[in-house]
Amino acid sequence: MVAGAGIFTDTGQIGPKESNAQMLEWPRSDGDASDPRRPTGVSFTKNEDSERNVNYYRLVRDTEEASVSWRRDIGTYVADAMGLPAGRIYWMKGWPAGYALYDHQKGQLPNPRHDLYLCGSATTARFRSKNEFKPHAKWLVTDPTLNPQNCGCKYCTKTKSQVEVNQVQKLSGLQRAPEHHQRVTKSAPSEAMTHAQRKIIREQNKANQQKPKATPALEQVLTALPERVRDLNSGRIFRAYELVWVALMEPVPVADDGTEIDFWPAIVLSYSTKNEPTPHKPGEIDYDIVSRFMFNIRLLGVNHQVTVPENRLLPQLGYTPSQSLLAIVKECPPNRPISPGLSEYTHFNPLPEYDRVLEIRPGAYTRDDALPAFTLALHIMGCLVPVWSATNAYSNDDELFQGLWWGAERIWLEDVVRLRPSRDELDPDNAMGLLPPSSEDALDRALFLRLAHIATDQEDPTGTNISVGGDLYELARKETQPDSAHKSPQAPSRASIFGPPTGLLVPPSSVPVATSSEHPDSELAPTAGPSLARTPQGMPPAPPGFVFRKLLGTGNEMVLDIGAVAGRYYSQILPTETLDRVRRTLNGESVKAGHTVKGTVEGYARERIRRSRVDTHAFESSKDTLVQILTLMGLHLGQGNAMQPEQWAKGRLNTIKGAEANGRSNLFEQWTTRVDGSSDVEMLDP
């Protein structure tokens, strides 16, 4: 790439200057950091001859405009390929391990020719342009196998022309060869068409124009939504616009009896990753880099947006405020004059460790604001949880759907969901041909449905009579299943630009899934049954010590009303060690809580273990909260911890806005109107 000398100015920073820039990191490299691959037969030191001619490769620092520009354009391409939210400027942090960007200076000083080359790949000595490297960058980010056959760059595909790569990969730049590269063959005089030949061609063209064109049959282009593919494959627990709880670093006491606010409701807005080294002493080089998901969330009621790690979040069904806290909330009055929008509580921050980031000035709120603000947040949550809808129809008659908004959760086709009915309730007469329980205690665990279709009853004029169907599973103890044939295939471990090696944001290379953005004209191969937009996914991991056991024979599936769905199955709510401590505590064993990390779900669970040892009442209270968490993993029946939506409303963003407005309006009315119609609440003048 020929470059002007002006792009080598130092910007003073390694990334773009825009405030909405987001950094992405390289999860892997085909380069070798210990022995970087560089072109041979060239000089990497400046040697000037007597006529001031130079010919050498100069290393381009990350802070130079050339490097920033390359990494910004490459990051934008990668982010677009991954389907990341628009409206941000994405850029790559540095280069893959073993790579470096060079400025090849050749010619007479002070104005030699400048060519930018990216070196370090195992495939080629140098990439000559951003477009040459972009498909290779996408491959590095999305393919944990680093199989060059999965790369679409010019060198891995052995394509002679970058123009062809531009066309296939939808890159900017030339989409056809320049005219001087195209051969134009002119007929020799002896090959000129005769008048008779030209007349025949004219008549043929006229006949073709008059011939009626066949009307193509209306076809369904059934493709898996990119959003759905990312959610199913990423390894993330949470999805955009879900309702969750965020653990407070310092629980807020609201009564003298120890009642406190441990979690605050929030909406997930977006996600990213953060790479951190494992603990090590200064100077040590023997450490690993661990990636973890980070989520940008909006706290309900106060509307602050903060970014927190995944271990601080809990699904909405994983926590219920204690009865003592709910009783206090019910009687909570406002502590200051209020307006109809209750904007007086927008400055309160339940996560004070973010005050500086949020630029909240000292004294903008007090601890007395906590309970009224929490009361408002619960009212908004109460307006959002009852709402549901089927989404993303993929049949012409809107009969089949790819997804659901089920209360607080986003559920997709191919998700594994927990069921509310127990086995006895589902098949009381044992007439469905289910396999017998794998063990007696299997009856105490939830049943699971792997969603193969989400369909509506065409005779229902409202379109809200939804059924779901798919394979039925139970959780069986491993020791009861010696035959591996009973074990469900587990999803392979995969690395991700947005997290630890637990999943990709795009389908694995061995699974050719069409996405509407990449292959708009392709159709998925038909499958048995109505679920034509399915993608071949492995079952998620079962809880430690268990396997998923299929209960129906091949060719049979369970079809249920949507109301039977309790919620999504979560396999990674607690680390294995903490999960073991929780289960032993619930079995009545005396268990030490171990080290507690404040402001995390794991820390909350361990604190409940510690409190359970105080007395019988404390044990029962802690037991209820711990069981609620384990229910998300299906280790207890789903009936006691289930979504129960009642209101059909399309459009998630509008639903959230409506819940915000209704929650504020309802609480304002409650605060300003007593049963007898009077009020002693002070209101601000409009």
Residues 469 and 489 in one domain: yes
Residue 247 counted as domain residue: yes
Is 21 part of a structural domain of the chain?
A: yes
One domain, residues 380 and 437:
no
Within this chain, do residues 26 and 163 fall inside the same structural domain, yes or no?
Answer: yes
| Vertex 565: Cα angle to 381 and 396 (nearest 5) | 95
**Worst-scoring range by mean pLDDT, 85-89, 111-115, 314-318, 653-657?**
85-89
Residue with more model confidence, 372 or 290: 372
**64-73, 273-282, 474-483: the lowest-pLDDT one:** 273-282
pLDDT at 677 > cutoff 70: no
Alpha-carbon gap, residue 59 to 541, rounded angstroms: 46
The residue whose two tokens read 């009315």 is 669
Distance CA 357, CA 339 (A): 27
The full 3-state SS of 520-561, as one line of letters, equals CCCCCCCCCCCCCCCCCCCECCCCCCEEEEECCCCCCCEEEE
Nearest to 146 by CA among 452, 422, 508, 484: 508
Same domain as 606, residue 529: no
Mind listing the pLDDT tens digit for each residue in 233-269?
A: 888 999 999 999 999 999 999 988 889 999 999 999 9
Q: Are 74 and 140 members of one domain? A: yes
| Partners of residue 10 on adjacent β-strands | 64
Q: Which tens digit of pLDDT belongs to each residue from 575-632? A: 999 999 999 999 989 889 888 889 999 999 999 999 998 888 888 889 999 999 999 9
Cross-strand partners of 565? 419
- Residues 94/14, Cβ–Cβ less than 8 Å: yes
Residues 398 and 380 in one domain: no
Distance of CA 56 to the CA centre of its chain: 44
Task: Compute the distance between CA of residue 56 and CA of residue 368 in angstroms, rounded to an integer.
Answer: 68
pLDDT exceeds 90 at position 404: yes
Q: Give dist(CA 402, CA 207) in Å, integer.
A: 45
* Coil, strand or helix at 103: strand
The reply to whether 637 falls in a domain is no
Kindly provide the b/e burial profile for residues 507-531, where b requires at least 16 CB atoms within 10 angstroms of the residue's own CB.
bbbeeebbbbeeeeeeebeeeeebb
Residues 95 and 70 in one domain: yes
250 in the same domain as 135: no
pLDDT at 138: 93
206 band by pLDDT with thresholds 50, 70 and 90: low
234: nearest Cα among 318, 137, 142, 308: 142
Give the number of domains in the chain: 4
φ, ψ for residue 24, nearest 5 deg: -115, 150
From 137, 169, 201, the end of a domain falls on 169
How far is 561 from 466, CA to CA, in rounded Å?
6
C-alpha R_g of the chain: 31
Question: Do 430 and 530 sit in the same domain of this protein?
Answer: yes
**266: three-class secondary structure by DSSP:** strand
Contact between 545 and 478 under an 8 Å Cβ cutoff? The reply is: yes
Q: Are residues 411 and 556 in the same domain?
A: yes
Distance CA 505, CA 493 (A): 13
Please give the residue range of the domain that contains residue 498.
Answer: 387-571
Does one domain contain both 374 and 398?
no
Does residue 561 belong to any structural domain of this protein? yes
- Averaged pLDDT, 435-464: 85
Chain mean position to CA 415: 14
Please tell me the pTM assigned to this model.
0.63
Does 198 reside within a domain?
A: no
Preceding omega of 39 cis (within 30 degrees of 0): no
Cβ neighbourhood burial of 505 (10 Å; 0-12, 13-18, 19+): buried
Distance CA 202, CA 210 (A): 13
Portion of the chain with pLDDT greater than 70, in percent? 80
**Considering the domain boundaries, does residue 120 fall inside one?**
yes
Residue 177 falls within a domain, yes or no?
no
Please state whether beta strands 447-456 and 466-477 pair in parallel, antiparallel, or not at all (unpaired): antiparallel
DSSP 172-195: SS-SS--GGGS--PPPPGGGPPPH
Within a domain: residue 184?
no
CA separation for the pair 657, 322 (Å, rounded): 27
89 and 55 in a single domain? The answer is yes
